[in-house]
Amino acid sequence: MLNLAPLPYEKNALAPFISEDTLNFHYDKHHMGYLNNLNKLIAGTDFATATLEKIITESHGKTDKVGMFNNAAQVWNHTFYWNSMKPNGGGKPTGALLKKINETWGDLDTFATAFKEAGMAQFGSGWVWLILKDGALSIMKTGNADLPLVHGAVALLTCDVWEHAYYLDYQNRRVDYIGEFLANLVNWDFAAENYESNI
């Protein structure tokens, strides 16, 4: 049985950009719901004691394990998303990651514009990611529960663009939500740690 990873901050710590009300629903209902579903699906199977990553990789693409993959990937994605943010976030990355972003996009503002555009271009529910693959940075968008792990890529940070991530605070204004994520919430230290541990 897998346990729900604790939030890395209090539920009111991301306000006013993401409200405590949103986290009450998003973390306590949606994230916990995926975990509860997953634990039911793996109970009594060979996956009952497996790591989350093993469940994801071994259920991916299997027609008889679609539910298991979707719930496992959503548990992973959400935990990663919480860590992709911090109170008083935003600003700029430093060190090797900033250098690589500048090499790839020219400057941080151009990256931010491309990240926002990718998040807006994700039709329906999904995620937008900064990833590392084959030594190169890029922006990836994925639908539903899909994630970089099953595409041979390393996730550095993510923004959840499912409507439940932002609708209470921003209604249909996804672009404003992603803008605030980049300006005031993104945890560049987390992204930098992920980058530096994979180069």
Q: pLDDT tens digits for 159-170?
A: 999 999 999 999
Options 3.30.460.80, 3.55.40.20, 1.10.4080.10, 3.20.20.70; which CATH number does 95-196 get? 3.55.40.20
pLDDT at 143: 98
14 falls in which pLDDT band (50, 70, 90)? very high
- Residue 129 and residue 66: Cα distance in Å, rounded? 22
Q: At what angle do helices 66-83 and 32-42 cross, to 10 degrees?
A: 140
Range(s) of the chain covered by CATH 3.55.40.20: 95-196
* 151 annotated to bind ligand: no
* 30 annotated to bind ligand: no
Whether the per-residue pLDDT at 128 is higher than 90: the answer is yes
pLDDT at 1: 86
Range(s) of the chain covered by CATH 1.10.287.990: 20-83
Residues composing the chain: 199
151 falls in which pLDDT band (50, 70, 90)? very high
Task: Judge: domain 20-83, CATH 1.10.287.990.
Answer: yes
* 109 annotated to bind ligand: no
Write the single-letter amino acid at 156.
Answer: L
Q: Give the tens place of pLDDT for each residue, 57-101.
A: 999 999 999 999 999 999 999 999 999 999 999 999 999 999 999
122 falls in which pLDDT band (50, 70, 90)? very high
- Residue 94 and residue 44: Cα distance in Å, rounded? 46
Helix (H) or strand (E) holding 132: strand 126-133
- How far lies 193's CA from each of 12, 94, 143, 144, 190, in Å? 25, 11, 25, 26, 5
The two tokens of residue 30 are 């949606």
Whether the per-residue pLDDT at 158 is higher than 90: the answer is yes
pLDDT at 179: 98
- Residue 139 and residue 133: Cα distance in Å, rounded? 10
Q: Give the tens place of pLDDT for each residue, 20-60.
A: 999 999 999 999 999 999 999 999 999 999 999 999 999 99
Write down the pTM of the prediction. Answer: 0.97
**Per-chain mean pLDDT for the chain:** 97
